[in-house]
Structure 1
Amino acid sequence: MALYQGGVDPLIADVMMPTMDGFTMVKEMRAAGFEQPVLMLTAKTTITDKTTGFTSGADDYLTKPVDLAELKLRVAALLRRAKINSARQITIGQTILNEENFTLTINGHFTTLAKKEFLLLFTLLSYPIELLPLS
C-alpha cells in the first residue's frame, strides 16, 4: 500500500469505494503499520457498520449527510490527538508527562511512575477538556 508516512495528515475514507471498501483499506493500513488518523465518512449508519469501522482501525466515524462544522471539529480533534501521540510528551502548564522515561514533572520536581500509572495518566491527559470558569 503506497501511503505517505511523514506527518500527521488525517485520511478521510468512505466505506463504499470502487476497488476496495473502506473497512478493508483501513484494516490493511493498520496491519502494514500506518498510524495516520482515519475518519470514516459514510452513508452506512447502523451500529454494526460503526462497529466494523472502529474495529477495522478507524479513529472516528461520521455519517452522511455531513455538517461541515462538525467535520472540521472532528478533523481538528484527530490532529490534536495525533500530535499528542507522536510527541510522546504532554505539557500542561508546569506539568510534564514524558513517555520516554515514564516521568511526571510538576513545577520542576519529578517522579518516575509505574508503567500502568503512567499510561492511565497519559491517556487521561491526551483528551483534555477546557476548564470553564466556575461562577
Structure 2
Amino acid sequence: MRILLVEDDVSLGQGICIALRREAFAVDWVRDGASALAAINDGGVDLVLLDLGLPRVDGIEVIRQVRAQDSDVPILVLSARERAADRTLGLDVGADDYLGKPFDTAELHARIRALLRRSAGRAKPALDSGPLHLDPARLTVTWQGRGVDLTRREFALLRLLMEQRGRPLGRETIQQHLYGWNEDVASNAVDVHVHQLRRKLHPSVVRTVHGIGYAFDQDAVARAGETPA
C-alpha cells in the first residue's frame, strides 16, 4: 500500500516518513503541489497525506484538481489551519479526513488505517482462490478457514499477486509496490517476503518464474486446498 506524503516542511516530512516506514508502509514524499498532482496522475497511490500551505500549487487546489479528474484516492489533510472554516473547506472540496498539526503519531496511524479499510471495501472485493481468502477491507487472510497473521508488506505482496491471477511479476515491479522511492531496500527483500508467504500459507501459493520473478499459482493453491488443514 503506497502512501504519498505532500509536505514542504523538511523536518516534519522526515519524521512522518520514518514513522510510517516503521509500520511497513511504502511512502513517497514530495514537497509541492505540482509534484503531488504528477505523482497522483501517474497512478499507484493508495492514499495521500496532504499539507495545505504548499509551494507552486496550494493543497486546496490539489484536492480540487484530483477530484475533477474523478479520482477517488483517499486524501487526509494534515494542516496547521485548524479553524472550522478551513476544515469545512478542505472537506467540502473533496478531502476524506482532516487532522490538525501538531498531531499524535498513533492517531495518524489510526486514521490512515481507517481510510485504507474504507477505500479497500469500496473499491476491491474480497479475493478468493480455493482455500485462500483475502479481504482487502478488513486486511485479513485465511487459509482453509484459519486466520493467518501477515505483516503489512506480506499482505500487500499476496494481494498484488492474487489480483494479477497468475501473471508473472518481476522483482523490480513488486519492489515498487512494496517500498517508497527513496527507501533503502535489500537486494533479497522480495525473496524474503515470498519465503514468508510460503511458510505461513503453503509452499504452492507463490510460483517462481525463472528469469522473470513470481506469480500466484491458482491451480496449485486449489490442489493444496484438498489436503486437510
TM-score (norm 2): 0.37
Letter in 2 for 1:19: R
Identity of aligned residues (%): 40
Name the structure where helix makes up a greater proportion of residues. 2
Matched, 1:43 2:80: yes
- Residue 96 of structure 2 corresponds to 59
Decide whether the 8 Å contact of 1:15 with 1:22 is kept in 2: yes
The alpha-carbon deviation at position 5 of structure 1 amounts to 2.7
Query: 1 CA distance for matches of 2:104 and 2:47?
Result: 18
* Cα offsets for 1:19-49 (capped at 9, x unmatched): 1111110011000121110000000000100
Matched, 1:14 2:51: yes
Query: 2 CA distance for matches of 1:54 and 1:43?
Result: 15
Please, which runs of 5 or more residues in structure 2 have no aligned partner?
A: 1-36, 127-229
Where do 4+ consecutive residues of structure 1 move more than 3 Å? none
TM-score (norm 1): 0.61
Decide whether the 8 Å contact of 1:15 with 1:21 is kept in 2: yes
Distance 1:27 1:88, change over 3 A: farther
Query: 1 CA distance for matches of 2:75 and 2:125?
Result: 20
Letter in 1 for 2:85: T
Instruction: Please say which structure displays the higher CA radius of gyration.
Output: 2
Decide whether the 8 Å contact of 1:38 with 1:59 is kept in 2: yes
CA-atom RMSD in angstroms = 1.5
Letter in 1 for 2:79: T
* Cα offsets for 1:39-62 (capped at 9, x unmatched): 000000001000100011000000
Query: 1 CA distance for matches of 2:57 and 2:88?
Result: 18
Partner SS for 1:65: coil
Matched, 1:82 2:113: no
Please, which runs of 5 or more residues in structure 1 have no aligned partner?
A: 90-135
